Amino acid sequence: MTTIWLRSHLGRLGRHALGLLLCLLAAASLVACGGGVGTGGTGSYGAAPIDGFGSILVGGIEFDTARAAVLDDDGLPRDGGELRLGMTVEVEGGAVVDGAATASTVRIARAVVGPVAATDVGARTLLVLGQTVQVNGSTVFDPSLRGGLAALRAGDLVAVSALADAGGHLLATRIDPAVAGEPWRLRGKLGALDAAARRFRIGAATLDYAGAAQVPAGLAEGRLVNLRLSADGAAGAFAVAAFGPVSQPPDVAADAQLEGLVSGPVSGGRFKIGGIEVDASEASIEPSAAALVAGAQAQIAGRMQDGALLAARVTLLTPQQTERRIYRLAGAVESVDAAAASLVVRSTDVDFSGARFVNGSAAALAAGVTLRVQGTLAADGTRIEATQIEFR
């Protein structure tokens, strides 16, 4: 069985809130079950970064993705082994039974793939395809990018998973080197549409779609688009090769979980997360309703009805909370470097120098041994610093 978890701090709210996270557990989500806040409808939906992997219990909830269809940005099948911590995904799954659910579809939804134009380590930003990408303490970097943002140089090709608000602000959840030969990509809401000139803008980038394939009908300002670009951009202008699929949330789902940046205006507890309408007018809000403002990072649990999320709980995250995020891995050890006090599980580097061991010791670590790992992200984002390792 393969399981994955979506990022969440709802665990501190109790078992029922964690159950709701299972809805995200499709490829990174914890979907809620009977006893959760969702009522009516069946199934689960989640959109959030992946927070963990493995057949383990988290708050009494387990999510199985072994039979799920994993789809890439073009809607094409991918191997589930390509999923990584911090990747943003959209998940649909079945009903939660006894704290467990089965994912049917996991969709990868990266924000931008292309060359780095510039980095600012002090401001913790990078510029890619005209998009300013913010990095914070919970941004996961591929292990090859040791040093995190400081390891990137202008011209490096990167793939960025991110949360976005209505203004196009991107908060990176994972940054990887792009695969050689991979087409440039950009996902966002279009603005400054000039239908006659066949141009529009996303962030600071001008996009020319005169020669694009699969142009959707009814192209309009504010529409979310998923673009494959021609690698011939110059001076901030890029040619669109094709429009890719953009998924919509289910009309009805008993349990739903989102994580994203609040898009304003916030009025009467109503706002948007990643283009999804959220009604939090009757939700419990932590730490307070006053903190529910445009740009805030939020985790929302509830149910889908008529394509909108009716929230039961809203948790607004401070920068300190995001940097203390707990990650969980479960699986067989792929390699061990005893001298460096490091190992690899689920393609993730783990520093075990400060870990507490359960049912074993560091001396028993070896390739093939099955572990449960819990820890936080290292300062440069490239590895997990284990706080506990349990032998299974």
pLDDT in tens, 177-215: 998 888 999 999 899 999 999 999 998 899 999 999 999
When the pLDDT of each residue in the chain is averaged and rounded to a whole number, the result is 84
**d(Cα 7, Cα 14) in Å, to the nearest integer?**
15
Query: Has residue 220 got a pLDDT over 50?
Result: yes
In whole angstroms, give the CA distance from residue 175 to residue 178: 9
The answer to whether residues 342 and 350 touch, using CB atoms and an 8 Å cutoff, is yes
At 339 the pLDDT is 96
- Give residue 66's Cα distance to chain centre: 19
**Tokens 């579809």 found at:** 105
Q: Which single residue is written with the structure tokens 């890439």?
A: 72
Does position 23 have pLDDT exceeding 60, yes or no? no
> Tokens standing for 81?
């082994």
283-337 pLDDT tens trace: 999 999 999 998 899 999 888 999 899 999 999 988 888 888 888 898 999 999 9
Q: Is the pLDDT of residue 389 over 90?
A: yes
**What's the fold here for domain 112-177?**
OB fold (Dihydrolipoamide Acetyltransferase, E2P) (2.40.50)
Specify the residue for token string 């239908």: 195
DSSP string, 299-332: EEEEEEETTEEEEEEEEEEPHHHHHT--EEEEEE
CATH class of 326-391: mainly beta
Between 335 and 62, name the one with better pLDDT: 335
What are residue 82's phi and psi, to 5 degrees? Answer: -85, -10
Per-residue burial over 324-360, b if 16 or more Cβ lie within 10 Å, else e, is ebbbbbbbebeebeeeebbbbbbbbbbbbeebebeee
> Where residue 20 falls among pLDDT bands split at 50, 70, 90?
very low
